[in-house]
Chain A
């Protein structure tokens, strides 16, 4: 199976280790990967901040780049939610008929990573080994936009050596919200403090998620507060094996 990886702008810039883990994981599962060198951003930041014309130009760019691709995998739940929930409205308002048709044809072939593994590859045991105490943060877009349901747990339950600690108030937002975190920095920080309390209370070594934007927010606060725990994208856990552990994890 051929899969094109849309890594997303912030993973490319800030979290290349997540991208490397996706490559390691999918190639281990026999997927033939390609990477479109002209990819940039899905437009989520602009769309969520009210810059609709700018978001449209990035959305258009995404469809043009990927329209001939067999399958697109994206290791970021909020970017997939942007494409699924917001592109149709943007194209209805600003696009033409041709673009709408191209998008409608492409959309069923766009997958978030856990969707791709569980629904498309139909695999739950990816052969991972991660001997650590881990709590899972179910990002808002994963829960309420993509309705990922139990997919992340289907994958996590098969990771050997991993101890899972349930997180209280699982579906509560961490307060990131993109530009919300700076436009309403004080409220965002208050939400973050509440979320972090729940996460720290798990006593886990790692907090994982399917979206590095939440993890950047949580990890930034963990580091500031010497919380003694780290964040790690679920792809990195799933890519980890006995002989080849996750990068930066002893």
Chain B
């Protein structure tokens, strides 16, 4: 936040582990209130629109099938996209990683002698940390999405992929605009705030001839790029500038133009709870006399092809970035996005981020879920997020269990011992006996445990635990069976 309450770090290589990163957020009641309020509003809107769509489950099935097919034939569809886009006057570039993508974009900007660039909201550019790179190279970046302007001017970071400033409320927006735009009489009336942003933006649109966008979809059949948005700033960026550079992950491709019929229906309803988003821009190469006359697409891999190679994990790439999973997630509702230490927060971030990092960073994210399944239930392309979370948890455990320091880690030790306990009934029963004696030390007269040491203390910091009863169920069953009458007690 601009007031310096805390500074979110959205670089998985530098972010703190999730259980630590949540602490400043959980101690920030204003932020938690802002997040929960925004989420509840979106969820209520989405709920109504999904119910009215009687073929919603069929649409999800179709969405999943289209995305699965596209990924299974990704190489062919990307090649087709490159062909068709090039034929229409676009230039396609391939970037293996973030560094290469940043350099390609900088080189293109240098060819244009651009010292400033306007941007349509793109999370992929945040993934490759494009803005700080361009700023360091002497190119000023101007976000044009209202939420992104709030964050850029407030020196804050996105906490959501569709509504990046949902953790900021109106009063805070007023403060940021008043301070950064020099408007000391600005009120927090939404109309006034929007007008302030509009005045700020109009000059940028008129003055800056170079723009950067992301892509919601690439269409292989036609070589088109699709961007959906709510404010019209994206449409402006596609109208006024001379040069457009689009950055898109390689997974964004759809086979046919007709596939948009399904994808646009599920995207708008899932993302913002609207029947259709206000602006849908589709462009194919360049059109003489209309819009940018130079058009580049940078296709970014950055770890995606290695995800594609894995059977369970591949479904992660079906994602169309609607954010329905984070809106449905009870963990995200408490923490907001910053704690995930990545531009991709929430359940999809918990599976995507560690994989983009090739499992070298963000290993605590797959554990940042109670596995409640709400994400899978709402996902419009049926990504089984809990299944991928479990797969990644297993990979993290396999990494960590070889580390010498884990030998006496209470969690690892406890689970190893538990495995031994469950391997034989007599060991289980012996453990129950000694467990009752051991826990008896901590059990108060009221029969409850109020405080436990070590990992147990994590439980008792907010909950009590009922003391272990004298007789187990199997003990009762055996005693009952031993009685001649076969009657209980």
Contact = CB atoms under 8 A, between A and B. Distances in A.
B476 A48 contact: no
B474 A14 contact: no
Contacts of A186: 19, 22-23, 26
A37 interface: yes
Contact of A48 (B26, B371, B421): B371
B463 interface: yes
B21 to A, nearest CB: 10
A170 to B, nearest CB: 12
A192 B477 contact: no
Given A45-B415, A57-B419, A221-B463, A172 B330 contact: yes
Contacts of A13: 432, 435, 468, 472
A180 B474 contact: no
Nearest to A47: B390
A144 B374 contact: yes
The B interface is mostly helix, strand or loop, or mixed, namely helix
B411 A173 contact: no
A133 B19 CA distance: 37
B3 interface: no
Contacts of B330: 172-173, 175, 191, 194
B397 interface: yes
A120 interface: no
Interface in A148-192: 171-173, 175-192
Contact of B335 (A37, A171, A187, A217): A187
Given A47-B390, A187-B331, A224-B464, A37 B373 contact: no
A11 interface: yes
Interface stretch (B8-16, B90-98, B138-146, B454-462): B454-462
Contact of B474 (A35, A140, A223): A35
A57 B424 CA distance: 11
Contacts of B22: 184, 186-187
Contacts of A51: 394, 397, 415, 419
B66 to A, nearest CB: 24
B453 interface: no
Contacts of A19: 473, 476-477
Interface in A30-49: 35, 37-41, 43, 45-49
Nearest to A219: B466
Contacts of A41: 418, 422, 428
A186 to B, nearest CB: 6
Interface string A8-22: 010111111111100
Nearest to B446: A223
A181 B371 CA distance: 11
Contact of B418 (A45, A48, A145, A184): A45
B206 interface: no
A188 B477 CA distance: 35
A86 B387 CA distance: 9
B486 to A, nearest CB: 10
Nearest to A35: B477
A52 interface: yes
A220 B450 CA distance: 9
B411 to A, nearest CB: 7
A224 B450 CA distance: 8
B367 A184 contact: yes
Nearest to B375: A144
A224 B463 contact: yes
B31 to A, nearest CB: 12
Given A9-B422, A58-B422, A187-B22, A14 B370 contact: no
A51 B416 CA distance: 9
A9 to B, nearest CB: 7
B463 A14 contact: no
B367 A183 contact: yes
Interface in B180-214: none
B425 A37 contact: yes
Interface string B50-90: 00000000000000000000000000000000000000000
Interface in B1-59: 18-19, 22-23, 26
Contacts of B475: 16
Given A45-B418, A186-B23, A220-B465, A177 B369 contact: yes
A86 B397 CA distance: 17
Contacts of A86: 390
Contacts of B387: 89
Interface in A63-118: 86, 89
A16 B373 contact: no
16 contacts: A16-B469, A16-B471, A35-B477, A37-B474, A37-B478, A41-B422, A141-B373, A172-B330, A173-B330, A182-B456, A183-B367, A184-B368, A187-B335, A192-B463, A224-B450, A224-B462
Interface of B: 18-19, 22-23, 26, 330-331, 333-335, 366-374, 376-377, 387, 390, 393-398, 411, 415-416, 418-419, 421-425, 428, 432, 435, 448, 450, 455-456, 458-459, 461-466, 468-469, 471-478, 488
Interface of A: 7, 9, 11-20, 23-24, 35, 37-41, 43, 45-52, 54, 57-58, 61, 86, 89, 140-141, 144-145, 171-173, 175-194, 216-217, 219-221, 223-224
Top 5 A-B pairs, shortest CB-CB distance = A177-B370, A220-B463, A50-B393, A50-B397, A19-B473
Given A171-B374, A189-B463, 12 more contacts: A14-B468, A38-B425, A46-B415, A51-B419, A144-B372, A173-B372, A176-B370, A177-B371, A179-B411, A180-B370, A183-B367, A220-B464
